[in-house]
């Protein structure tokens, strides 16, 4: 709590959902962010009209920042064959914010509406998967090939190359996806990482890969642009990754120049019991914000303007990320502005609808 007095006024308790926030050289006009959401609608990683309209609708709907879905830094880092990718220069197209991702052992699956099951063979559209240790995500699922030192260097290089392409494409915010049981989280969690080299065992070793990626991306990104990391704060499982470790990790990420932790949870194990309820992950964002002393984003079952406003006013988080509520209502930011007693900041082209 003591750190709060060090924060500038726009980050102190009291500033609400509709107040602006400046992170490095980027000013968000309020605190409402569209959370990254895979659309499983790309071919060979390339964005198309669907992505343009889907993301454009939320930008026109008034979100302060639209984060593009998990975008694979390597071809084999895609969750499914229909994921967006940024592994080659062909993927450089101006699309805001982008989440860079590698799915690791959770790669090579069918899109959710085709069952989401592992794709067993190249004929079925699948590919061999990599991970921290030869432990499948689900029983009978593909056994990942453990990455060796050269493989890990290649992953760090792939994130750096992807970040360069994203910057060339005009993205102003980069988020590293280190949550939901994907590759970087697979290294963090003792449940998916049984390595005995310098990437496994102690917390220091399990954090090493993500810290290397974050360090490289900070170097690649201009100093005026923010770097976010999405973390799972807990695996919701005995013996797994948990909030105390996430706080330590956040302190280290702050040291390498990460600006904000986008705080989610889960994803390491297929079947765990998660106490899902409105704002259920907010306490994790609060702990990381206060104990690690850096900006946080809250996500998960945030659907009401008053609720979102209280999260910012109470100093639980600095941004709210909305996912499904923005699928239901792309114009939610205008509703929030109205309900919180402000004038909806409609685009000038829509002025006659005021
Ligand atoms: C269709 C869909 C796709 C998603 N894809 C991603 C993703 O690409 N990256 C990610 O970090 N989270 C992803 N998520 C999780 C959301 O970003 C968010 O954390 C989660 O849905 C909880 O927020 P909500 O209650 O506002 O929906 C996805 C969620 C949905 C519904």
pLDDT at position 125 is: 93
Least confident of 20-29, 83-92, 273-282, 327-336: 83-92
Measured between alpha carbons, how far is 353 from 82 in angstroms, rounded to an integer? Answer: 37
Rounded to the nearest whole angstrom, what is the distance from the C-alpha of residue 36 to the centroid of ligand 1?
6
Ligand 1 site, residue 322, Cβ cutoff 6 A? yes
pLDDT at position 93 is: 62
Asked whether the beta carbons of 219 and 193 are under 8 A apart, the reply is no
Query: Which among 264, 338, 346, 332 is positioned nearest to 304, based on CA atoms?
Result: 332
pTM: 0.94
Rounded to the nearest whole angstrom, what is the distance from the C-alpha of residue 8 to the centroid of ligand 1?
30
Please name the residue that has the structure tokens 């939320």.
Answer: 58
Rounded to the nearest whole angstrom, what is the distance from the C-alpha of residue 263 to the centroid of ligand 1?
12
Confidence band of 322 (pLDDT split at 50, 70, 90): very high
Question: Measuring from atom 15 of ligand 1, which residue has the nearest CA?
Answer: 37
pLDDT at position 14 is: 62
How high does pLDDT run on average in the chain?
94
What is the average pLDDT across 326-345?
Answer: 96
pLDDT at position 42 over 80: yes
Measured between alpha carbons, how far is 62 from 290 in angstroms, rounded to an integer? Answer: 29
pLDDT at position 315 is: 97
Question: For the segment 70-99, what is each residue's pLDDT rounded down to a tens digit?
Answer: 999 999 999 999 999 999 998 886 447 999
Ligand 1 site, residue 263, Cβ cutoff 6 A? no
Mutate to test the pocket of ligand 1, among 32, 33, 34, 35 (most ligand atoms within 8 A of CB): 35
Question: Measuring from atom 22 of ligand 1, which residue has the nearest CA?
Answer: 300
- In three-state secondary structure terms, 21 is strand
Asked whether the beta carbons of 126 and 118 are under 8 A apart, the reply is yes
Whole-Å CA distances, 41 to 73, 81, 85, 110, 194? 17, 9, 11, 12, 34
pLDDT at position 3 is: 42
């Amino acid at each position: 709590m003591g750190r709060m007095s060090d924060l500038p006024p726009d980050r102190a308790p009291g500033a609400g959902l509709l107040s602006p926030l400046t992170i490095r050289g980027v000013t968000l006009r309020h605190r409402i962010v569209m959370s990254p959401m895979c659309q499983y609608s790309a071919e060979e990683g390339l964005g198309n009209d669907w992505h343009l309209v889907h993301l454009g609708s939320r930008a026109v709907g008034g979100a302060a920042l639209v984060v593009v879905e998990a975008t694979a830094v390597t071809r084999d880092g895609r969750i499914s064959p229909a994921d967006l990718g940024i592994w080659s220069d062909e993927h450089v197209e101006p699309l805001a914010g982008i989440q860079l991702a590698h799915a690791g052992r959770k790669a090579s699956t069918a899109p959710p509406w085709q069952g989401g099951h592992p794709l067993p063979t190249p004929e079925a559209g699948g590919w061999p998967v990599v991970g921290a240790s030869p432990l499948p995500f689900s029983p009978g699922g593909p056994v990942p090939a453990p990455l060796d030192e050269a493989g890990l260097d290649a992953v760090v290089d792939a994130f750096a190359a992807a970040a360069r392409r994203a910057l060339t494409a005009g993205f102003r915010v980069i988020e590293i996806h280190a949550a939901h049981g994907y590759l970087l989280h697979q290294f963090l969690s003792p449940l998916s990482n049984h390595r005995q080299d310098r990437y496994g065992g102690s917390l220091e070793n399990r954090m090493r890969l993500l810290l290397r990626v974050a360090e490289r991306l900070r170097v690649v990104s201009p100093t005026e642009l923010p770097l976010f990391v999405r973390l799972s704060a807990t695996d919701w499982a005995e013996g797994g990754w948990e909030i105390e470790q996430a706080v330590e990790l956040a302190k280290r990420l702050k040291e390498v120049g990460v600006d904000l932790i986008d705080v989610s949870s889960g994803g390491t194990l297929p079947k765990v019991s998660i106490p899902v309820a409105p704002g259920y992950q907010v306490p994790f964002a609060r702990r990381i914000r206060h104990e690690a002393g850096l900006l946080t984003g809250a996500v998960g079952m945030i659907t009401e303007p008053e609720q979102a406003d209280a999260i910012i006013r109470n100093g639980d988080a600095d941004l709210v990320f909305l996912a499904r509520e923005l699928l239901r209502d792309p114009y939610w930011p205008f509703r929030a502005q109205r309900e919180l007693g402000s004038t909806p900041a409609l685009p000038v082209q829509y002025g006659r609808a005021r």
